[in-house]
Amino acid sequence: MSDHNGAAFPGAQELMQMGEQFTRQFFEFVGKQAAGMQQGAAAPVPDGGTLVELQREYAQRHAELWSHMLQRNDTKGEPLVAPQRGDRRFNDDAWAESPVYDYLRQAYLLNAEFMNRVASEAPLEDGRMKARVQFLTRQYIDALSPSNFAATNPEFIKTALDTKGESITRGIQNLLKDLEKGRISMTDDDAFEVGRNLATTPGAVIYENELMQLIQYAPLTDKVAQKPLLIVPPCINKFYIMDLQAHNSLVRFIVEQGVTVFLVSWKNPQQSESKTTWDDYLDKGPLTALEIVRSVTRVKKLNVLGFCVGGTLLTSALAVARARGEDPVESLTLMTTLLDFSDAGELGCLVDETSVATREATIGKGGLLPGQELANTFSALRANDLVWQYVVGNYLKGDKPAAFDLLYWNSDSTNLPGPFLCWYLRNMYLENNLRIPGRLKMLGQKVDLGKVDMPAYLLATREDHIVPWESAYLARRLLGGETTFVLGASGHIAGAINPASKNRRSYWVSTANPSHAEEWLETAEERPGSWWLDWIEWLKPRSGKAIAARGRLGSTTYEPTEPAPGRYVKERAGKS
């Protein structure tokens, strides 16, 4: 095959040989990475027949691409290989205006498609290992995108010419600032401040210990429901994801509905908390908060809500309470929470015996997992959106990220105590012990989720890569009470924090209770808007009669000590 000037291009046979060599070298590397860099790890390459067929198709498509480019005649046309839906890396017209860059992007997308297919066909019986190979393959593909490099990104050149080189200067300045900061800037950090324009719902801290502050929010209605709601957010990030700004605050929405809200604000652990265990979090978190809320409101049974890891902690705490013969809760709401970790999403593929044992040996008896390391792991799960987009924008184009409250929160990382983390990884992600009645002992009690028998509202989100919705559905088979399952649109955060004020997206509901999630979805009805509106209607009948709102927060025993959001949530990771 040759171009108009007679220059030789690779033929189909050459392409197949190149593809075979590259495939084996790449997947030998990935295989060793996936096996924890063990010597002699086998390359997870598909069997000969499958691989030959993939390579034949790969060579054919590359030949078609060459032909397509030769017939292009330097005019912009429809690409032969298009990005997947939602991939915005090549949206700029500059990629289509030049035949060179047009070829670069299409060849990259074709190569990426081939590598992903090889990874998906890898003959691995271990599901966790196969998921890890696919994860590492995607990381490799994302990192090598031509959009990430100055020499192969026409937007870099176009912006540099338009700004007479100023964009390059700004990009270098942005890079130096981020190197000093120790992370990639995703938003304008100066635009937000916790307590000023984030986490502004009025309230007060009424109690604190070494792990959490308990916030009570002030009523915004003349009358409130008799039974309050206690919220337990995840301890792996800051609580104000649930109280961003007035228009998208779940906390404020609930208070405006006439429900008294209490919330656990976890401390950002420092060295003084480096020996904190899972039991410590249960005892000094949800269980302590339950007793204080009951004391302050003089209500025997309250409603509770847990989000993500906070939901796992809360449910575990309720299992301890039930094992003790206590019954402190009227209803349970779980937002994007795993109780059965048999399919723990993309995070699960990164957890194996070697990685957990390494953590146990290094920080299992005491020490901290730095917040930035945790944040980097979560960013890697969506590298194009949370890493490479900002490499291109900040450093190649010299742009300043726009102000975005959600990304400010995403960058506000938290440390984790080693003993807590290691216990959680081993018993949940690695061994999946929580689902087995009596297998785990917490605070001296053998726990059984079947005894957590209050009505439960379970919210999952359809595109969640951290808590797969099908896995969240499995909680229905573990909890002992009546369950209502609702599926929200979008992902782990955007699907959960879907403000009723905007009432966007949609959610699915069904009264059916089959064993399998897909069977439930077949019966479900899609409704437009925010799931918050459905949930609040579920909560209100379980919240008791309306009573006059109290004028003061706390009680004589638990006096307010500082205004919400309190100082714990303002403490930054890395502070000594």
pLDDT at 67: 86
* pTM for this entry: 0.89
Over residues 146-150, the mean pLDDT reads: 96
Q: Structurally, how many domains does the chain consist of? A: 2
29: in domain? yes
510 or 349: which leads in pLDDT? 510
Asked if residue 182 has pLDDT above 50, the reply is yes
Task: Tell how far CA 567 is from the center of its chain.
Answer: 25
18 or 425: which leads in pLDDT? 425
459 or 57: which leads in pLDDT? 459
Does 241 share its domain with 349? yes
Give the model's confidence band at 574: pLDDT under 50 very low, under 70 low, under 90 confident, else very high: low
Q: pLDDT tens digits for 514-551? A: 999 999 999 999 999 999 999 999 999 999 999 999 98
| Active-site residue flag, 349 | no
The interaxial angle of helices 48-70 and 99-120, nearest 10 deg, is: 170
pLDDT at 346: 84
Asked if residue 396 has pLDDT above 60, the reply is yes
pLDDT at 31: 53
Asked if residue 15 has pLDDT above 50, the reply is no
Asked if residue 45 has pLDDT above 90, the reply is no
pLDDT at 55: 85
Does 354 share its domain with 216? yes
pLDDT at 575: 44
Q: Mean pLDDT check: name the lowest of 26-30, 71-75, 468-472, 556-560.
A: 26-30
Q: Mean pLDDT check: name the lowest of 120-129, 189-198, 262-271, 515-524.
A: 120-129
CB within 8 Å of 477: residues ≥ 6 apart = 340, 515
Q: pLDDT tens digits for 89-144? A: 999 999 998 889 999 999 999 999 999 998 888 777 777 788 888 888 999 999 99
pLDDT at 11: 44
CATH number of the domain where residue 348 is located? 3.40.50.1820
pLDDT at 21: 53
Asked if residue 22 has pLDDT above 90, the reply is no
68: in domain? yes
For the chain, how big is the Rg over CA atoms in Å?
26
7: in domain? no
pLDDT at 388: 94
Q: What is the C-alpha to C-alpha distance for residues 196 and 511, in angstroms, rounded to an integer?
A: 42
Does 351 share its domain with 477? yes
Does 207 share its domain with 127? no
Provide, rounded to the nearest whole percent, the portion of the chain with pLDDT above 70: 90
Does 354 share its domain with 462? yes
Does 122 share its domain with 245? no
Q: pLDDT tens digits for 491-520? A: 999 999 999 989 889 999 999 999 999 999
Asked if residue 9 has pLDDT above 60, the reply is no
pLDDT at 410: 92
Does 112 share its domain with 225? no
Does 136 share its domain with 283? no
Taking CA atoms, 248 is separated from 16, 203, 508, 538, in Å, by 53, 17, 21, 20
Over residues 442-471, the mean pLDDT reads: 97
Q: Is the peptide bond before 565 cis (omega within 30 degrees of 0)?
A: yes
220: in domain? yes
pLDDT at 28: 55
101: in domain? yes
Asked if residue 228 has pLDDT above 80, the reply is yes
Q: Where is the domain boundary, 143, 159, 193?
A: 143
Exactly one of 235, 308, 349, 422 is catalytic; name it: 308
Q: Is the peptide bond before 370 cis (omega within 30 degrees of 0)?
A: no
CB 269 within 8 A of CB 417: yes
572 or 316: which leads in pLDDT? 316
pLDDT at 285: 98
Taking CA atoms, 293 is separated from 34, 126, 264, 357, 500, in Å, by 47, 46, 11, 39, 27
Q: pLDDT tens digits for 169-180? A: 999 999 999 999
359: in domain? yes
Provide, rounded to the nearest whole percent, the portion of the chain with pLDDT above 90: 74
Does 280 share its domain with 421? yes
pLDDT at 75: 53
Asked if residue 40 has pLDDT above 50, the reply is no
109: in domain? yes
Rounding to the nearest 10 degrees, give the CA dihedral for residues 150, 152, 157, 159. -70
Does 137 share its domain with 212? no
Nearest C-alpha neighbor of 412 from the set 571, 263, 285, 281: 571
Does 137 share its domain with 216? no
Does 137 share its domain with 217? no
Q: What is the C-alpha to C-alpha distance for residues 225 and 541, in angstroms, rounded to an integer?
A: 10
196: in domain? no
Q: Where is the domain boundary, 94, 112, 143?
A: 143
Instruction: Domain of residue 79: give its range.
Output: 12-143
Q: What is the 3-state secondary structure (H, E, C) of 503-528?
A: CCCEEEECCCCCCCHHHHHHHCEEEE
Give the model's confidence band at 86: pLDDT under 50 very low, under 70 low, under 90 confident, else very high: confident
Q: What is the DSSP letter of 135?
A: H
The interaxial angle of helices 166-181 and 154-162, nearest 10 deg, is: 120
